[in-house]
Amino acid sequence: MNDNSVTKKLMFYFPKCVCDEPIIYRLVKDYQLIVNVYRAKVTPEEEGYLVLDVTGKEAAIQRAIDFVKTFNVTVNSSGKGVVRDEERCADCGYCVPYCRPGALKIADRATRKVAYDESKCIECLACVRICPFGACTSAF
Amino acid sequence: MGNEIMKTYEQINDRIESGKAVVLTADEIMDYVDKKGLKAAAREVDVVTTATFGPMCSSGCFLNFGHSKPKIRMSEAWIADVLAYTGLAAVDVYLGCTQLRHGDPANMYPPGEFRYGGGHVIEDLVAGKTLQLFALSYGTDCYPLREIRTYFTIDDLNQAIMVNPRNCYQNYNVAVNRSEQTIYTYMGKLEPHQKNANYCSAGQLSPLLNDPFYETIGVGTRVWLAGAHGHVYAEGTQHAGGGARTPEGVPIGGAGTLALTGDMKQMKKEFVRGVSFIGYGVSLALGVGIPIPILNEEVLRRTCVRDRDILAPVVDYGFDYPQNTGNVLGRVSYEQLRTGRIEVDGKTIEEVGSLSSYSKALEIANLLADELRRGDFQLSAPFAPLRKDAKMKPLVKRRGNR
């Protein structure tokens, strides 16, 4: 990829499955995007989800999103597969060492509040499983 | 002569009442004393606020439902399907925070989920939610009703009194796992070969670490219990004030505990939080704030304890803790723990997490300080001290006829 390429984390929500369409193939072939799928739930005749990183030219990513939307797919470009509820979080920091990619970290050494950097999250769901307060949840 | 009485509780309370009290948090006092000197600061500062927020498994509440028509003497009762203890007077129950809901997954397919329990009921009650009561009775002449199903909120109850027999551990273990497999404990998920470590104390903000010899915290001390003005009603269970200490007097292990009580109707929901630990169970995370009156220089000096002065024992939860061997792998300071990396037995553990929220503790210390500055919180002198010589006894397995 050349210098003007960008990486975006996207979540696709399929109200009903479009399993017969090779969507990922099209993203690679037609829009020259590098695709890294973190997590997917694809079941015939049901809703489906896909959380992925796409890397490519910004304009190509936009065109790819428009293409995906033609299948009645909702595209969430802020990557909301894992959500941290700030109100439920008690800022204990228990999750921090379990978050291997470093998406959850102690933001401020004085107040010891926990911050969540969504762009670093790879959807491993370790935080969802271990948070005693149920502050981290998964969209699917 | 640092230990002579400089101020009395009455004098400090007068200053609080008139809105003139000088109050600092345990987080602020160290730098203040460094700047002003101990003598001047002791004259000037009236109260230092301490706090902690974390899972406190020995928490529960007494609830009084009032009498139905006709009356019932509940012999079994469930709140939101969580079993409550009914061996009390009619329509009183005790609900413990580690009790699981009937039908909870309860560690099915370990390490499994625990979804809801007593701690969550207590959180929901304080949050004002509507909950179901289902109770059964054997029926008597005076209490004829045999079954009741109804819905209630905390406002419908005559009393909702939190009673916690063991809160605010003075110091606590740092948990590691030296076994071959991942284990799931009340200290969280511990990976094999000491890959990670978890600890649970507010360290330099923690109440009993700022009053290590129980000079101001004793039976009768008024405390801030999740927003309510509660008090210490006894020494806590497993109170072991006679444990080993550093030369400065800071216990190097669990040591003292407090038994606390307070009115749940006065509590704030953000400081009463049900928790679920995968593979272990449910509990309640609770916020406690305790004011320390600065009676003299020595009391002030002890509130200046810093994370670097507090040593916590590192314990192997893979073998030593469950087998009660008493073995300690080493000791680390809270200053080290806060960096997220500790060294035990020459080996560095890179992944260190906290179950106690310093952030929430800081918030509580500040809330309590504000109440004291506004004159909304009065101090009470303890009327009985906590024991400084108590040791924790083990349960000895004996044969029946001996």
Q: Which residue of A has its CA nearest to B271?
A: A90
Per-residue pLDDT band for A18 (boundaries 50, 70, 90) equals: confident
* Residue A108 predicted with pLDDT over 70: yes
A interface with B, Cβ–Cβ < 8 A, is 90-98, 106, 109, 111-114, 129-130, 132-134
Confidence (pLDDT) at A2: 58
Confidence (pLDDT) at B156: 98
The sign of the dihedral angle between the CA atoms of B76, B78, B84, B89 is negative
In chain A, the N- to C-terminal Cα span, in Å, equals 32
Interface contacts A/B by beta carbons within 8 Å: 69
By annotation, the residues of B acting in catalysis are 142
Q: Do B357 and A111 make contact, defined as CB atoms within 8 angstroms?
A: no
- In this complex, is the C-beta atom of B340 within 8 Å of any C-beta atom belonging to chain A? yes
C-alpha to C-alpha distance for B81 and B148, rounded to whole angstroms: 13
Mean pLDDT of A79-84: 86
Confidence (pLDDT) at A1: 54
The tens digit of pLDDT for each residue in A28-50 reads: 999 999 999 999 988 877 888 99
The sign of the dihedral angle between the CA atoms of B3, B9, B10, B15 is positive
Buried-exposed string A19-42: b where 16+ CB fall within 10 A, e elsewhere: eeeebbeebeeebebebeebbebe
Give the side-chain half-sphere CA count within 13 A for A58.
3
Confidence (pLDDT) at A46: 80
Confidence (pLDDT) at B3: 57
Pairing of strands A34-41, B183-185: unpaired
Confidence (pLDDT) at A19: 77
Q: Give the gap in angstroms from C-alpha B237 to the nearest C-alpha of chain A.
A: 24
Which residues of chain A make contact with B198, given a CB cutoff of 8 A?
A: 94
Confidence (pLDDT) at A45: 74
Q: Is the ipTM of this complex over 0.90?
A: yes
C-alpha to C-alpha distance for B315 and B176, rounded to whole angstroms: 6
The sign of the dihedral angle between the CA atoms of A131, B106, B60, B292 is negative
Q: Which residue has the tokens 């948990």?
A: B175
Confidence (pLDDT) at B321: 98
Confidence (pLDDT) at A4: 84
Could you tell me which residue, B160 or A21, shows the higher pLDDT?
Answer: B160
C-alpha to C-alpha distance for B209 and B224, rounded to whole angstroms: 17
Confidence (pLDDT) at B176: 98
Q: For chain B, list residues with pLDDT below 50.
A: 1
Residue B31 burial class via C-beta count within 10 angstroms: exposed 0-12, middle 13-18, buried 19 and up: exposed
Confidence (pLDDT) at A76: 87
C-alpha to C-alpha distance for B61 and B64, rounded to whole angstroms: 10
Question: What one-letter code names the amino acid at B276?
Answer: S
The tens digit of pLDDT for each residue in B235-280 reads: 999 999 999 999 999 999 999 999 999 999 999 999 999 999 999 9
Which residues, numbered 256 to 315 in chain B, qualify as contacts with chain A under a Cβ-Cβ cut-off of 8 Å? 273, 275-278, 283, 285
Question: What one-letter code names the amino acid at B197?
Answer: A
Give the helix/strand (H/E) hosting A76.
Answer: strand A74-76
In chain B, the N- to C-terminal Cα span, in Å, equals 54
Q: Give the gap in angstroms from C-alpha A98 to the nearest C-alpha of chain B.
A: 8
Beta bridge partners of B342: B349
By C-alpha distance, which of A14, A80, A71, A67 is closest to A43?
A: A14
Asked if B194 contacts B342 with a C-beta cutoff of 8 angstroms, the reply is: no
For residue B232, what are the contacts with CB-CB under 8 A and spacing of at least 6?
A: B217, B218, B219, B220, B221, B223, B258, B259, B260, B382
Confidence (pLDDT) at A128: 96
Confidence (pLDDT) at B53: 98
* Six-digit token string for A140: 């699917």
Confidence (pLDDT) at B402: 61
Q: Do A94 and B359 make contact, defined as CB atoms within 8 angstroms?
A: no
Give the side-chain half-sphere CA count within 13 A for B80.
22
Helix (H/G/I), strand (E/B), else coil: B206: coil
Buried-exposed string B186-210: b where 16+ CB fall within 10 A, e elsewhere: bbbbbbeebebbbbbbbbbbbbbbb
Q: Do A90 and B353 make contact, defined as CB atoms within 8 angstroms?
A: no
